[in-house]
Structure 1
């Protein structure tokens, strides 16, 4: 994972201070990536059974007698 360049906008940080800030930023980025990878593995493969969109109500179809079938479970 490549990080964009970091610029110091104010102040004169020492090399040790810059190294500390960069270490924290890299550690947080690595932790976020590890959490994302763990979440992807925990969710398992994507399938129709895992798709929550199927629980949403479908839009009724247009046409003759559509009002009658709009209340049917489907």
Structure 2
């Protein structure tokens, strides 16, 4: 059994509690993996940007154009 250890203490002398905490953190990070969740698609009905009014046009005849559909 000449397996290499997963963790190796390079400097210092950790006690059993510190070594167990380090092992738990590394094992938790290894099982968590990367972010594999794809961004969820939001419905257009729930889009809050539709509630914001678009800017009004300036200039002659702008008041007529404000009533026209966009």
- TM bucket by the smaller chain? 0.3 to 0.5
Q: Greater relative contact order (Cα 8 A, min sep 6): structure 1 or 2?
A: 2
Choose 1 or 2 for highest CA Rg: 2
Specify which structure has the higher proportion of helix: 1
- With normalisation by structure 2, the TM-score equals 0.39
